[in-house]
A and B are shown apart, each in its own frame.
Chain A
Amino acid sequence: MDIQEKLEILSDAAKYDASCSSSGSNRKNSSNGIGNGDISGICHSWGADGRCISLLKILMTNCCMYDCKYCINRRTNAVPRATFTPREIADLTIGFYKRNYIEGLFLSSAVIKSADYTTELMIQAITILRNEYNFHGYIHAKTIPGSSQELIDQLGKLVDRMSVNIELPSNDSLKLLAPDKSKLDIVKPMSYISNKLENNQRLLSTFSKKRNFSLSPVTKYQKEKFVPAGQTTQMIIGATPETDLKIIKLSESLYNTMKLKRVYYSAYVSINKDSCLPTLDKPPLLRENRLYQADWLLRFYGFHADELLEEKHPNFNTFLDPKCDWALRNIDKFPVEINKASYSMLLRVPGIGVISAKRIITARRSFSLNFENLKKLGVVLKRARYFITCNGKYFDKISSFNPSFINENLLMLEKRSTPSKNNYSQLSLFENSLPTKGDVIKCLTGNF
């Protein structure tokens, strides 16, 4: 089998991994090496599905000994199988990297023979890259559930980011759909990595104390640094009956206890037919989108999972995004005065994000802001206008603060931005239907 065919099979098999970010590591290049990390990450292309391509995302092999029901590479599926040699992976990565196609390598694998054997092969490939080719670009390696701690240690010192996929958000679902994996297999490496990451912090502080005495503490620190870009995980959405609340709670505890950099959500695509699996016409993309919105609120906006959802309403509103939804339920906290509100309260206004909030804080130091200034600063008022005042004044046309009015307007915004295709048709000159009285009123008032 030539390399072209292998790439075809093994990139196709790797595409269901959502993670493709290349941020978080600023590994430096050496004068005789190739590549460096970019702290903010760089996207190199976007596929036909609109997902960014920044890493060469491939499987080492898709010959799997496990039989996870949701997975395309399960043992019992009849799909073409292939295996890369470590050398082939290294050569392919360098060839692509040199031409600026990619930011680095995302290496995952099915479990061949045993977890340890698979991890060893991955380490071989990455060692060739790092030591032989002097490659300092980004490498993300997937941890194979059940591999030994020594190997994880070795891998962690070579790569920038590691991830262990949870895939299914509860133990029952795991038992049902991934009978060969246990919760312990997943949690153990994850907590091991997070402990090592805490060590990183300690290393950094001891080195910075020693800075005056040793020659190059920073380079020494970098050599010993374990997984500088942290670890991530992924969950499949819609294959099992868990509610959004349960998922978002799990994410929150992963961020707090395991110090994860990110949790990815992957809308379930029906690939396998099985009695345990739901059959979906389309992947639940809206639900995935809502979860990502909520995830951002957890990480950057200071929200807690309990604030976003409650036992009575365990799933997200399909019409409104989680932040608007929260604002309408907590309408007593609004309107917010732009010139006085704290940073954390500004962040809670729908339509104001981290960048806008920071800009407002900087700008209002030198002068007092009105709506015109906000527009100039680039703050989008589409949603925010209903929730804020500038120097005690509401946005024009909004005469008073009225929750039901806000709700209606927000829903209308949402409808307008996602027009359903069936409601419109080409007007015809030859149809002799005159506009009704209702149509005329609609035209005049603008309420469609």
Chain B
Amino acid sequence: MFNWKLLKTIYLYDGTLNGLFTIAFDCYIFKSIPSNIIFEDNYISNFLDTAIYIKTDNEKSSRIWNGLYNNVSYDTLYNCYYAFLSCQKNKEINILKYILKAFIDGPKINTMLHIDYVLEVMKLRKNVLHESHRLKGLTRLSEINKNLFYASIHPDNNVIELLGHFFIKRFPLQNLILHDKNRNLLFLYNSQNPNNYEIISSPSNFNISNYSIEEIEFQNLWKTFFKNISIKERTNPRLQMQYMPKKYWQNLTELK
């Protein structure tokens, strides 16, 4: 891409977007690009490569944050954020190159789809947004106590924050626990405090099995509706599966 130094080192970081932005800042200053960027917990050391841990520095990351927002474009910043939520393994290095290129070329970066890493970032973004859109519909909230709702999800990408935002906007008066069972994350929202939410890691044995009486009643009503709304003469399980892949079925009330 640019005539910057290509290092043989691997950078390790703490797995946050700020961590990645810190690396981007350092790369921009020293005009060098690492051979790879890996989340420190996933790194398996190997005596052939040298790995350096880059400590997250909020000062540096906010410079990148503001730089993208003010000097490139809002979309570019959001593309980085969405791509970062992806579950793909080599996302970091592609996002890094995308950020550096964006500072050189400005907002037109998003039309330069012939460059591999730009296309890759766009694909990651699309994949994340697609899954989060799907789950906006396919998440089932169940009432475990008066006005306390719980939902478990098994997403491929880390979309819990996107979903959480969506539900807060939609149900500002409902207390909410979203549970990402693939990552053991909990999204907590308290309606008394509508401007705040929290994402914490969940205890390993966290499970919900008690529902309110009203909840059971509505689940039965929903199952009845689901059964009756399809036309028997048009039964087409393949089409159903195409739109709603089996991996989502475990969390759906109507298909349990």
Partners in one complex: yes
Q: Could you tell me which A residues sit within 8 Å of B by CB distance?
A: 3-4, 7-8, 11-12, 14-16, 29, 31-36, 38, 40, 42-54, 56-57, 92, 95-96, 98-101, 103, 267, 269, 282-283, 285, 359, 362-363, 365-367, 373, 376-377
Residue of chain B at shortest CB distance from A365 = B111
Which of A29, A32, A48, A359 meets B170, CB within 8 Å? A29
Taken together as a complex, chains A and B put the C-alpha atoms of A269 and B205 apart, in Å, by: 50
B240 to chain A: which residues have CB within 8 Å? 46-50
Instruction: Indicate which residue in B138, B172, B218, B243 contacts A99 across the interface (CB closer than 8 Å).
Output: B218
| Min distance, Cβ A286 to any Cβ of chain B, angstroms | 12
Contact A45 B254 (CB under 8 A): yes
Bound: A48/B239 CA distance, A = 8
Enumerate B230-256 residues with CB–CB distance to A below 8 Å: 230-240, 242-244, 252-254
Residue of A nearest to B111 (CB): A362
- Going nearest first, the 6 A-B pairs with the smallest beta carbon separation are A50-B239, A47-B230, A49-B234, A50-B236, A44-B137, A49-B230
Given A98-B149, A100-B141, check contact A4 B237 (CB 8 Å): no
Which of B141, B252, B254 is within 8 Å of A98, CB to CB? Answer: B141
Asked if B151 lies at the interface with its beta carbon under 8 angstroms from chain A, I say: yes
Contact A100 B172, beta carbon cutoff 8 Å: no
Contact of A16 among B231, B242, B243, B252 (CB under 8 A): B231
Asked whether A34 and B114 contact (CB < 8 A) given A44-B138, A47-B229, A99-B222, the answer is no
B176 to chain A, nearest CB (A): 10
In the complex, the answer to whether A45 meets B111 with C-beta atoms within 8 Å is no
Q: A8-B224, A49-B240, A363-B111 known; A269 and B233 CB under 8 Å?
A: yes
Structural contact, A34 and B171, CB atoms closer than 8 A: yes
B226 within 8 A of A: yes
Residues from chain A with Cβ under 8 Å of B230 in the complex: 15, 47-49, 51
Contact pick for B244, options A11, A46, A56, CB 8 Å: A46
Contact B218 A95 (CB under 8 A): yes
Show 12 A/B contacts (Cβ-Cβ < 8 Å), sorted by A.
Answer: A15-B230, A46-B240, A95-B218, A98-B174, A99-B149, A100-B167, A267-B234, A363-B111, A365-B111, A366-B111, A366-B112, A377-B119
* B139 interfacial by beta-carbon distance below 8 Å: yes
Residues of A close to B236: CB separation below 8 A:
48-50
Q: Which residue from chain B places its CB closest to the CB of A281 in the assembled complex?
A: B233
Contact A46 B112 (CB under 8 A): no
Instruction: Given A32-B173, A44-B137, decide whether A373 and B114 contact each other with a Cβ distance below 8 A.
Output: yes
A43 contacts across to B, CB distance below 8 A? 137, 243
Task: Give A46 to B241 CA distance when docked, in angstroms.
Answer: 8
Question: How far apart sit A95 and B170, CA to CA, in the bound complex (Å)?
Answer: 14
Given contacts A7-B225, A49-B234, 10 further A-B contacts (CB under 8 A): A7-B228, A12-B228, A42-B136, A49-B231, A49-B232, A96-B218, A96-B225, A100-B141, A101-B140, A362-B111
Max chain A Cβ within 10 angstroms of own Cβ: one of B173, B214, B221, B243 = B221
Q: Of all chain A residues, which has the CB nearest B123? A: A378
Q: Which A residues are CB-close (under 8 A) to B254? A: 45
Q: Which residue of A lies closest to B139 (CB)?
A: A100
C-alpha gap A99/B151 in the complex (Å): 9
Q: Which residues of B contact A362 (CB under 8 A)?
A: 111, 113
B residues 36-82 near A (Cβ < 8 Å) are none
Chain B residues within 8 Å of A100, by CB = 137, 139-141, 151, 167
Interface residues of B in 168-218 (CB under 8 A from A): 169-174, 194, 214-215, 218
Neighbouring B residues of A98 by C-beta, 8 Å: 141, 143, 149, 171, 174
A15 to B233, CA, bound (A): 12
Q: A residues within 8 A CB of B138?
A: 44-45
Question: Roughly how many angstroms separate A32 CA and B191 CA in the complex, as a whole number?
Answer: 10
> Given A31-B172, A99-B140, does the pair A367, B114 have CB atoms closer than 8 Å?
yes
Q: Is B89 an interface residue (CB 8 A)?
A: no
Chain B contacts for A42, CB-based, 8 A: 133, 136-137
Contacts of A12 in B (CB 8 A): 228-229
Judge if B16 is at the interface, Cβ distance under 8 Å: no
Which residue of A has the minimal Cβ distance to B252?
A: A45
Given A48-B235, A98-B149, A377-B113, is A7 in contact with B139 using a C-beta cutoff of 8 Å?
no
Binary flags per residue of B153-164, CB closer than 8 Å to A gives 1, else 0:
000000000000
Q: Is the CB of B224 within 8 A of A366?
A: no
Cβ contact within 8 Å between A99 and B142: yes
A47 touches B226 (CB 8 A): yes
Q: Which of A47, A365, A377 has the most CB of B within 10 A?
A: A47
A34 touches B243 (CB 8 A): no
Give A99's nearest chain B residue, CB to CB.
Answer: B141
Q: Choose from A40, A49, A359 the contact partner of B113 (Cβ within 8 Å).
A: A359
User: A16–B153 Cα gap in the complex (Å)?
Assistant: 32
A367 to B138, CA, bound (A): 40
List of A residues within 8 angstroms of B113 by Cβ: 359, 362-363, 376-377
